[in-house]
Amino acid sequence: MLKHRCPWCGEWLPGYELHLDLISKLVELKDPPSCHNCKNVYMLHGISKQHFLKVELKVIIFGVLLAVAVCFWTSIKKDINMLWGLFLIMGILFVISEIILFKQVPFERLYNRKDNSIFSFLRKQKVSVNIQWISKKSSGLWRPQLQVQDGEIFPAYFKDTEGNLISSGLCVVLEEIKWTGKRQCNCEISFVRDDISAERYFQKGNHLYLYYYDRQIAEGIVL
């Protein structure tokens, strides 16, 4: 599972505890979490969350069907202890799957409607890119189709059409991801930070290289 970055400044965010924070926020127990670096608040990415809730619904349906089968089987065996034991195992598996599902969801900005930060979202420049994910053997990600969801953020280095490096590591958000193969997708990118002028980097034919920690994990081309 990927460690996610702040949708305001691109800094790493804490992982596990944060998701518990967000789950508690879903039931209105706490204020939304804020970035330790830029202090802005954020939430689970909406589209990715919807995707995972659909997956979760399938997990629940499968669990219910399994529970019915277990009840039926133990009623034949007439062993109530076995029934409770199996329910306990299923409950543990459900909690683990829940944590895994939510850990895969990246974050998006939570805008304060009282200030003008919402306008930075409206001004965001986006461009379509084609991305080829590097194989696991060559330090790429394990099953990017499963791990990389809408809203995921990676630092990117850009090269112009002549192959000259034109940027340092600038964090980009991947959205509207459409997978065209196991390790290939089309998507839209925008810069995380609001103070970067995208014009120079979003030129057709420019190349970009995505990194996770210090590993290059993908190469893309601006369409």
- For the chain, the farthest-separated pair of C-alpha atoms sits apart, in whole angstroms, at 74
Place of tokens 């893309």: 220
What contacts 48, CB < 8 A, 6 or more positions away? 104, 105, 106, 149, 150, 151
In the bound state with Zn ion, the residue whose beta carbon lies nearer, of 8 and 133, is: 8
Q: Is there binding between residue 198 and Zn ion (CB under 5 A)?
A: no
CA atoms within 13 A on the CB side of 47: 9
Does position 185 interact with Zn ion (CB under 5 A)? The reply is no
Q: Which two tokens stand for residue 182?
A: 């196991």
CB contact at 8 A, 15 and 8: no
Identify the bridge partners of residue 126 per DSSP, sorted by sequence position.
Answer: none
109 is written with which tokens?
A: 């900005």
Closest distance of CB 208 from Zn ion, Å: 22
Nearer to Zn ion, 45 or 183 (CB): 45
CA 37 to CA 34: how far, in whole Å? 9
Stretch binding Zn ion (CB under 5 A), from 31-39, 131-139, 204-212, 215-223: 31-39
Instruction: Select the span of 34-42, 47-55, 161-169, 208-216 touching Zn ion (CB under 5 A).
Output: 34-42
Could you write out the DSSP letters of every residue in 9-24? Answer: T--B---HHHHHHHHH
Residue 90 burial (CB < 10 Å; 0-12/13-18/19+)? middle
Structure tokens at 85: 């034991």
CB of 2 or CB of 141, closer to Zn ion: 2
173 binds Zn ion (CB under 5 A): no
Q: Does 14 bind Zn ion (CB under 5 A)?
A: no
CB closer to Zn ion, 5 vs 207: 5
Of 23 and 38, the one with the shorter C-beta distance to Zn ion is 38
d(CA 32, CA 214): 30
C-beta of 76: minimal distance to Zn ion in Å?
57
> Which residues in 37-76 contact Zn ion (CB under 5 A)?
37-38
Nearer to Zn ion, 35 or 217 (CB): 35
Interface segment toward Zn ion; rule CB under 5 A; list 30-38, 86-94, 134-142, 180-188: 30-38
When asked if residue 171 is in the footprint of Zn ion (CB under 5 A), the reply is: no
With binding defined as CB under 5 A, does residue 201 bind Zn ion?
Answer: no
Query: Contact region for Zn ion (CB under 5 A) — 32-40, 55-63, 98-106, 151-159?
Result: 32-40
Q: Which residues bind Zn ion (CB under 5 A)?
A: 6, 8-9, 11, 35, 37-38
